[in-house]
């Protein structure tokens, strides 16, 4: 089990949180944590995005210059 100190909304303060036994196979990296004091659960979500590539912007078409007659 991994211990972390996080803010618990129910306890209204920083409390130790631990990962309960994970049935999904995450082991110590389980995103579910429970407050040791009150049992409130939190989910630690990590986001992994692929690197973005700059999109090609269309070049503005040059307007023909008009000359006075």
pLDDT in tens, 15-55: 999 888 888 887 777 888 999 999 999 888 777 778 877 77
Do residues 34 and 16 lie in contact, with contact meaning Cβ atoms separated by under 8 Å? no
* Choice between 11 and 24, residue whose per-residue pLDDT is larger: 11
Residue 40 CA to residue 1 CA, distance in Å, equals: 16
Closest CA to 33 of 63, 69, 5: 5
The per-residue pLDDT for 1 is 46
pLDDT at 6 over 60: yes
Kindly state the tokens that stand for 20.
């309960």
């Amino acid at each position: 089990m991994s211990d972390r100190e996080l803010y618990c909304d129910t306890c209204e303060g920083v409390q130790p949180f631990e990962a309960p036994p994970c049935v999904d196979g995450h082991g110590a990296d389980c995103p579910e944590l429970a407050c040791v004091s009150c049992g409130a659960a939190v989910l630690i979500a990590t986001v992994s995005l692929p690197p973005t590539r700059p999109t090609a912007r269309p070049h503005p078409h040059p307007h023909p210059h008009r000359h006075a007659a």
